[in-house]
Amino acid sequence: MKILSKTYGSIFFIFSFFCISIPIFSFASDSQQNINKFEEQVQSLFKTSCFSCHGQKQQLGGLRLDSRDAILRGGGRGSPIASGHPEQSLLLKAIDYSDKSLQMPPKGKLNEEQIALLTRWVKAAAEWPGGHKSQNLITHWAFLPIGKSTIPTVKHKAWVRTPIDAFILAKLEHQNLVPSRRADKRILVRRAAYDLTGLPPSPLEMDAFIKDTRRNAYEKLIDRLLASPRYGERWGRHWLDLAHYGDTHGYDKDTRRDNAWPYRDYVINSFNADMPYSRFIQEQIAGDVLFPLNSQALIATGFIAAGPWDAVGNLELKEGTVEKEKTRLLDRDDMAANTLATFDSMTVHCARCHDHKFDPIPQRDYYRLQAVFSGVERGDRPYESPERMKQRAVLTSRVASLTQDRDTLQKKIDSLGSPELIELDKKLELERFKLNSLPKIPGTASETNGYHSLISKTPDQIKWVQIDLGKSFPLSSVILFPARPVDFRDTPGFGFPARFRIEVSDTSDFIQKTNIVDCTKADDASLWDIPTLFQFQDVTARYVLITATKLWKRNYDFVFALGEVQVESNGRNVARGAIITARDSIEDGRWSAKYLVDGFDSRTSLPDYTSGSARDLLKQKLGYTLTIRTLLDEREKKHYALISQELLIALAALKKELKETLTELNHMLKPNQVFALVTHAPRPIWVLRRGDVEQHGELVRAGALSCVPGLNAVFALKDTDSEGDRRASLAKWISSQQNMLTWRSIVNRVWHYHFGKGIVDTPNDFGKNGSAPTHPELLDWLACYLLEHGQSLKQLHRIIMLSSVYMQSSEGNAAFEKLDSDNRLLWKMNRTRLDAEEIRDSVLAKAGTLNLKMGGPGYEVFKYTYDYSPRYDHFDLDKILSSSAWRRAVYCFQVRSVQNPFLECLDCADPNINTPVRNTTLTALQALIMWNDPFMVQQSELFSAGLQKRNATIDAQINDLYRTVLGRKPAFGEIEKVIRFAKRRGLANTCRLLFNTNEFLFLD
Amino acid sequence: MIPKEINRRELLWKAGGGLGGIALSYLLGSEGALAETEKFGKGRQDLNGGLHHKASAKRVVQLFMSGAASQVDTFDYKPELIKRKGQPFDPGAKIELFQSSPGSVMQSPWEWKQHGNSGLWISGLLPNLANCADDIAIINSMVSKSNVHGPATFMQNTGFVLPGFPSMGSWISYGLGSMNDSLPAFVVLPDMRGFAPNGPANWGAGFLPAAYQGTMIRPGSKNPIFDLNPPTKSFITPESESEGLHLLNDLNRDHFSKHTGDSRLEARIQSYELAARLQLSAPEVLDISKENSAIKNLYGLDKPITEDFGRRCLIARRLLERGVRFVQVWSGADNGFPRRNWDSHEDLARDHGMMAAEMDRPSAALIMDMKARGLLDDTIVIWTTEFGRMPCSQGSKGRDHNPYTFSSWLAGGGIKGGTTYGQSDAWSYKAEVNPTYCYDLHATVLHQLGIDHKKLTFHNNGIDRRLTDVHGNVIHELIT
């Protein structure tokens, strides 16, 4: 092949996407290596038998056979192959020698084996091995189905503890490399503890393991660590690196996102619960749709919303502008790109402006993914615990059924009848007819409600309103028009007091007064929802005072209100436009004391009702209404007599239970909020030429990648307008066992975190521009293992950590480094520097100050102020030193614009981007923070205090310090120097010193 | 105390540079991107320190006007606005504003004059910079891809409207490293009142190693550099520090001797010496007491309004003088109230008036001072902002955002002074002649530093990333 590509150079470098439409050979039982071998055999056969006439130098019959392009293009007779259809292929006809006019190669028939090879090749879509760019995309390793790998045989069988070892060892033996010896127990326990929990083993745990001589001691250690809640905190943190989780929105203003943390807790809990991986995927993409009764699944969708969000652009830009569309495009880009990068290790964002340059991802696929997220916005979404959600559902349905029972029973009761009732109903009908036949006085709509007192917490507040007629008049009646505001739910009689009196006087001090109405003794049974006329003996007075002695109950408070008042003197309303004073009054909008006499009640203009036809009409209306109400009372009594005791008891019981149930429902706590997805009808999505929101191409449906064989790229949705169905389909597409990307991606990530490097060392990019797997068969074996073991990540950790590969020492070997300087073949374990969180958590753990409280809102290591724009001051010493910050770093409130300087300096993940691999740098600034940061100095002091408390002598203190930080005794030659320093410069400085040693900061 | 025979290349490669004068091309060599420069150290000496061609500049100082400084009140003179003041604003196309609906045409509150031999138009808002007219090259056709502060500020810094990309200073540090063994390559001097929109993410390293992010220095605060010194404690004394670091070195050396072959262990030991050097050199560079009073007054340290920006400009000069590669000085803080940046929606005369009074004299002083010292010859000064402002009024006295055209200028480092490049339309509503994006400005600056902007790349998530994305043309009209 090498010779070939030299000779034929660039000829077969221009393969295009049409290859995708060719039937795909099933590689289920073939490894990538076998396929390559197969293709190379075909190529070499062509080379020896055909190229001399159909190659670079000459092309007899116009046919050239030295590139796939050329083969498909064919010669004078058309293409020699019909890929997937051997019976129609000219090539096979020719080599078969059955047609005398077409026999190739002319020198002589190929042998049976060679014919079989070419037949198989045509059947298998006629793939062609290539150099760099020409390599066919469908044969790219990442898109091949996961093969069942054969466990290789090795010479050094004793070393193989798990099948993983065989895969690694086979390659090592092939390169004449030898694995390193097993690391000692002190190193193993430290390695395993950090790996699974992100924390060091305590001295006691370390001793216990070292002393445990049972054969399965190491296995037991792994099991114990996997069961620790610290495991979820460690591996959850890895996951949050990918989700680019943060506790603020980022961008301009960088507003707090106070409801982000439930998602962080969900991730931690899911790892601890060892949730099957496909379920973990589904919940995070569409948990609210697929598992609607499970609040945790709703919280899981915080994954989609976890990244930075241009709140100003999304909330403040005007609808319908180009800028708004750009903002939305980028917002969906973050969701789609991050989902595919995280779960499938694909770089779809490269296809926003044009087809992907390296991978078979046309722009259309990218916009199909955008369409999946075109019906979601980021925002707070209510959720509650499954128990409460269940409780709420039970109560709601109970209310519904009780209401129905009550209505049924009420209907039954209402329909009870007797001859007497029939008689009464006839009378009622007649009176109603009379009432409705009265002429209507036309009016214009009112713009005012009337008078409204201030709101009172209790009903017994005395409220009054006084009308000053301007001078004395002989008065003979007062008409009160109840309020019926239009800006409140329709309530006739709004604000009409339960008890009240009306007094008149000639002087404003009311020393001499006449009480003309007194309804203060009992709540009046009459219904004050219609205009009411009070007539009395003529009294000469200037002032009319209406005093409410028991207020009207509004919702949970009490008020006094009236729509209008008319006061009669000699057949004329003298109150219109009078001066109104009140004890208190709401003067706002449609309410004002002066509106009490503005000629309008709450709904309409009023004629003068104090005389003439209007007054007659009012009286008639009052008369009929009273008659109707009396009849109704009578009817009710008669009807009541007909109702049996059982029915009454049953109805009362129903009403009581309904009331209680409603109370219980109303008293339930309001649901919590999580920053996740707020959904709406999907917006149309077009392919955008050059990624420009103003250049619409074709309209696309929701879908995913077309390069994953066996899965539909366009989702078959029952309801294409359903937002939820789109995400649910993507969740299923990604979590499908047939999606080889998903399963290779996760096992590679787990491997990466255990070894510091993935089998594919670009964990977010399985495309052609990423790295190829160093051990493809092992990658597939691990994917199969995960699928066959309940998709349990804990099982996966276990099998990896029990391998000899994992248990190797990390010491170097100059000779091996020459052969494999990057240790890609794993002849030793990789030594790593502790990461930012491990360092901070370890310092707290060693100092004895670590608070293991799990979950809840993140602790803030900054002073927060809001001055029209949030400010996060990370230099505030009180916050840096506060004991509230002595929790694990995974619970630290993460500000996107200003990261925690301590963690940032130590290469923590930038919450603005998906971080598949942490950078590990060694800088002078790190030396400064480790040595000088107030937190480090504070912890050193606290640590030394603890050591002094535990140990009487300086020797014992130093021994304890060494045992705690480094897990060993001070070495000979070391102890003297350190004790001397401790004596001269203090134990706190000595603790500081040990926290800065390489031995503490590197993990062997 | 540190043996000298360390394998320098290995150490620098692993240490990742950024600090302590590490020649970052070593690290580049390890990445394979710029391997040919490996043997030359800090850029190629035959290319005057450039990486791909001969460099005409070695350093950059960027003055960033946060909040969007108005072009129609500074460098983009439009007689049309004076002629038509108060008339309805109708540029003949649909107008999309950020907050408001278009008000009437608004004349600048400041008078316009031509300055210097070149006759550049500069408004009366900037009388001191006007004196430098013959040194600066104005671009009056800058265009932004966003009219929202956050994304647009990212764009001017990183070339992308999204967070998570390396800033220009990070790219240049990654490309060239520092020229000083004891100072960081990229230093940021934020406004004392607070951070601009996006905060320190504006000078983040993105996916580049953290060593390339801007090191923040806050002159005038109690701890100008984060954790440069330990907190005050009775048990921490100069003696305890030196003895402690010495013993630490011993312990780490013992440990290293048992784990030979791992250069990272060695690099970490070395990082403490670099830190110690920084501890010594940083106070010296921040101590301006020895500058003579004429210089201090030139920068405006004698007046409260210019004191903060002036001090930061003076320290910028001191940093550049000592070999820091890229210094960024911010004028303007967050979008709070009362206004403390250039975002003059409500009252342009008042708020631009204040911001310019703070910035004008110190900026001009920086140019003049560097010129007098011969430093301007190979130092590029960039004056920029995230976008411009509208020629029409918002309310009656303010101006809304204008991403379609705005002004930036360059000076020094082989830039042709006294020129203008590009034009906006008659209103200064949209760029008309030579619309210019930050890509072009970035490409030009890299070009002057001897870097081909298309070759300075870093592979991340499937793409060989560049400061200029897939865009950028060097503006040759601006170069001498």
Q: Is the ipTM of this complex over 0.90?
A: no
pLDDT for A13 equals 26
Which residues have C-beta within 8 Å of that of residue A468, sequence separation ≥ 6?
A508, A542, A543, A578, A579, A580, A581
Interface check B462 vs A, CB under 8 A: yes
Optimal mutation site among B461, B466, B470, interface A, most CBs of chain A within 10 A: B461
Please state the domain count of chain A: 4
Q: Is residue A995 domain-resident?
A: yes
CB contact under 8 A, B201 and A250: yes
- Decide if B151 and A984 are in contact by the 8 Å CB cutoff: no
**B24 Cβ under 8 Å from any chain A Cβ:** no
Instruction: Classify residue A212: in a domain, yes or no.
Output: no
**pLDDT for res B212:** 83
Q: Do B150 and A974 touch (CB under 8 A)?
A: no
Mean pLDDT value across chain A? 89
Q: Are residues A59 and A120 in the same domain?
A: yes
Q: Does the beta carbon of B250 lie under 8 angstroms from any beta carbon of chain A?
A: yes
Is A596 a domain residue?
A: yes
Residues in B touching A694 (Cβ below 8 Å): none
Provide the pLDDT confidence category of residue A285 given band limits of 50, 70 and 90.
very high
Pair A393, A527 in one domain = no
Pairing of strands B136-142, B419-421: parallel
Nearest 5°: phi and psi at A641?
-65, -25
Substitution target in B22, B160, B162, B228 with the highest count of A β-carbons within 10 Å is B162
Considering the domain architecture, whether residues A395 and A512 belong to the same structural domain is answered as no
Residue B149 · residue B343 · CB < 8 Å: yes
Q: Is B287 on the interface with A (CB under 8 A)?
A: no
Give residues with Cβ within 8 angstroms of A96, minimum separation 6.
A115
A469 and A591 co-located in one domain: yes
Q: Looking at residue A505, which CATH number applies to its domain?
A: 2.60.120.260
Residue A408 and residue A547 share a domain? no
Q: Does A929 touch chain B (CB under 8 A)?
A: yes
Higher pLDDT, A143 or A61: A143
Residue A58: the pLDDT is: 66
Write down which residue in A655, A670, A685 finishes a domain. A670
Q: Do A923 and B256 touch (CB under 8 A)?
A: no
* CB contacts, 8 Å: B275 with chain A: 924-925, 927-928, 931
Cβ of residue B209 closer than 8 Å to a chain A Cβ: yes
pLDDT at residue number A131: 36
Does residue A727 form part of some domain?
no
Q: Which helix (H) or strand (E) is B421 found in, with range?
A: strand B419-421
Q: What is the pLDDT of residues A733-775, one digit of tens each?
A: 999 999 999 999 999 999 999 999 999 999 999 998 888 999 9
What's this model's pTM, rounded to 2 decimal places?
Answer: 0.71
Residues A59 and A111 in one domain: yes
Tell me if A962 is assigned to some domain.
yes
The pLDDT assigned to A57 comes to 63
Q: What is the pLDDT of residue A17?
A: 26
Instruction: Find chain A residues with C-beta within 8 A of B252's C-beta.
Output: 997-999
Residues in B closer than 8 angstroms to A250, CB to CB, are 150, 163, 198, 201
- Assess A992–B contact: CB distance below 8 Å, yes or no: yes
Domain ranges, residue A533: 451-606
Q: What is the pLDDT of residue A91?
A: 81
* Nearest Cα residue in chain A from B181: A924
Residues of chain A positioned with their CB less than 8 A from the CB of B149 = 252, 312
Q: Is the pLDDT of residue A18 over 60?
A: no
pLDDT reading at B13 higher than 50: no
User: Is the CB of residue B226 less than 8 Å away from at least one CB of chain A?
Assistant: yes
- Beta-carbon contacts of A613 under 8 Å, excluding residues fewer than 6 positions away, are none
A392 lies in the same domain as A460: no
Q: CB count, 10 Å around CB of B15?
A: 28
Across A90-99, A269-278, B210-219, which has the greatest mean pLDDT?
A269-278
- Cβ distance B164 to A971 less than 8 Å, yes or no, reads no
pLDDT, tens only, A805-843: 999 999 999 889 888 888 999 999 999 999 999 999 999
- Tell me, yes or no, whether A375 lies in a domain: no
A108 sits in the region (left: phi over 0; alpha: psi -120 to 50; else beta) called left
Same domain? For A10 and A117 the reply is yes
Average pLDDT, chain B: 87
pLDDT tens for each residue of B248-262: 999 999 999 998 778
Q: Quick: pLDDT tens for B341-352.
A: 999 998 999 999
At A72 the pLDDT is 66
Buried b (16+ CB within 10 A) or exposed e, A507-526: eeeeeebbebbebbeeeeee
- Using CA atoms, how far apart are residues A930 and A941, in angstroms rounded to an integer? 14
Q: Provide CB contacts within 8 A for A390, sequence distance 6+.
A: A293
Q: What share of chain B is helix, strand, coil (3-state, %, to 5)?
A: 35, 15, 45
For residue A63, CA distances in Å to A48, A76, A134 come to 16, 7, 20
Domains annotated for chain B, with CATH where assigned, are 41-232+288-478 (3.40.720)
For residue range A959-984, what is the model confidence (pLDDT) as tens digits? 999 999 999 999 988 999 999 999 99
pLDDT band at A308 (very low <50, low <70, confident <90, very high): very high
Tell me which of B296 and A88 has the higher pLDDT.
B296
Give per-residue pLDDT as tens, B356-415: 999 999 999 999 999 999 999 999 999 999 999 999 999 889 999 999 999 999 999 999
Instruction: Report the distance separating Cα A641 and Cα A659, nearest Å.
Output: 25
All residues of chain B having their beta carbon less than 8 Å from the beta carbon of residue A769 are 459, 462-463
Residue-wise pLDDT tens digits, A902-930: 999 898 999 988 999 987 878 888 999 99
Final residue in a domain of this structure, among A81, A113, A136: A136
Asked if the structure places residue A81 within a domain, the reply is: yes
- Contact between chains at B198 and A250 (C-beta distance less than 8 A): yes
Task: Establish if A702 belongs to a structural domain.
Answer: no
Band (A298; pLDDT cuts 50, 70, 90): very high
Q: Is the Cβ pair A992, B252 closer than 8 Å?
A: no
- At A81 the pLDDT is 75
Is A764 in Cβ contact with B259 (below 8 Å)?
A: no
> Which amino acid would we find at residue B325?
R
A402 and A512 both lie in a single domain: no
The answer to whether the CB atoms of A308 and B163 lie below 8 A apart is yes
Q: How far apart are CA B29 and CA B41, in angstroms?
A: 10
Please tell me whether residues A466 and A594 are part of one structural domain: yes
Question: Hey, is B379 helix, strand or coil?
Answer: strand
**Closest chain A residue to B272 measured between Cα atoms?**
A927
pLDDT value for B1: 28
Q: Is B338's Cβ below 8 Å from some Cβ in A?
A: no
Confidence of residue A267 (pLDDT cuts 50, 70, 90): very high
Tens digit of each residue's pLDDT (9 = 90 or more) over A410-440: 999 888 888 888 999 999 999 999 989 988 8
Q: How far apart are CA A767 and CA A775, in angstroms?
A: 16
Which of A140, A242, A251 has the highest number of chain B CBs within 10 A, making it the mutation to test binding with B? A251
Q: Which of B243, B248, B345, B346 has the most A C-beta neighbours within 10 Å, making it the best mutation to test the interface with A?
A: B248
Closest-approach residue (CA) in chain A for B183: A924
Q: Are residues A481 and A524 in the same domain?
A: yes
User: A572-625, pLDDT tens digit by residue?
Assistant: 999 999 999 999 999 988 999 999 999 999 999 999 999 888 888 888 888 898
Q: In whole angstroms, what is the distance from residue A810 CA to residue A831 CA? A: 6
Same domain, A408 and A505: no
